[in-house]
Structure 1
């Protein structure tokens, strides 16, 4: 007999960054499985008829998918962004563990308002990373790319082939680079700025 439908907290199971995992069994769900963020928890929605073995396998797969997406969602579809410098530093540690094997260990990570020509910067000598405030309204996968880019600079200072290989693990690298190039292009031509009504 399969477990009944409803939410089930999976005990000690957490995501890489310590968020609780909820398994949601649904009788209306016949074959599909989904994963999403809700109120700071990772929710894996599965059909109610799944066995415990199927549940374990799909929870593992879907948590891996959420990790690869590199973003956390809250109820209503909004993104949970690292607003404070402390939260940004915590997020940097998660990204380093996830994509760089934990090798990039910054001494400080902070938002700054004085970077007008760069999205981020890193100083390998002292291990500090700074991200431009202009990134705050951008999609989380773009912010994550810039943060990973700067984390990679703590390991390799230049933009050589070895540096770019470090970023290959992040699935949104090319997309984020294109996004930022588009923003730079539009901004340099005054596009997207309010011209008065």
Structure 2
């Protein structure tokens, strides 16, 4: 995302560096507050850090909430730009190595557009994994969770205790499940104009 012109016009009130959420594998975060900013929030990558621009009046709690929201938004944009079928298969291999000692080896991993009621599917007899195109653009940790979920089915077919024990190794399981549940819940709400963010 481009830098905010208000910041470069010298309107920054203060700048703080925050630690990202503990389970985020992201660069350090710098929060810049602006007296000219009324309600918009934006973020961009700058060198080895992430800069989040917020109104000066925001509370610390609002700041932390918006940092999390903007980190997820940037990660989603970067994931959407970078993950094709080949990258998805490579990512599955790395996740299997990291969390399952390389035991889950799919024959194919690809995006599909015909899964509108589930996020992914696996056919263990063929070793094939399919992820819904609706995941494209979601944060990487969410895509990784769905990949791991389907990889786990190559080792354990059902959803019994041994299946969930496999997924306990992934530290973002609960966060990713919460994100996906939120997406489903939001889809059931009446349509409202999105809140304004830059």
Q: 1:75-107 CA deviation, whole Å, 9 max, x = no partner? A: 999635652111100000000000111000000
- The aligned length equals 127
Summarize deviations over 1:43-78 as a string: whole Å, max 9, x none: 8xxxxxxxxxxxxxxxxxxxxxxxxxxxxxxx9996
**Higher relative contact order structure (alpha carbons within 8 Å, sequence separation ≥ 6):** 2
Partner-residue secondary structure (3-state), 2:114: coil
Residues 192 and 79 (structure 1), Cα distance of their counterparts in 2 relative to 1, 3 Å cut: farther
Work out whether 1:183 is the aligned partner of 2:183: yes
Deviations 1:19-56 (A, max 9, x none): xxxxxxxxxxxxxxxx857xxxxx8xxxxxxxxxxxxx
Q: Determine if the alignment matches structure 1 residue 103 to structure 2 residue 86.
A: no
Query: Is 1:168 matched up with 2:171?
Result: no
Q: Report the TM-score, using the length of structure 1 for normalisation.
A: 0.57
Q: Show the counterpart of 1:115.
A: 115
Could you tell me how far 1:127 is from its partner in structure 2? 0.3
CA distance in 1, matches of 2:193, 2:113: 21
1:87 alignment counterpart:
87
CA contact (8 A) 1:149 1:167 kept: yes
Q: 1:190 to 1:99 in 2, by over 3 A?
A: same
5+ unaligned residues in a row in structure 1: which ranges?
A: 1-34, 38-42, 44-74
Task: Tell me, in whole angstroms, the C-alpha distance in 1 between the residues paired with 2:114 and 2:143.
Answer: 17
Residue of structure 2 equivalent to 1:149: 149
Q: Aligned residue for 1:71?
A: none
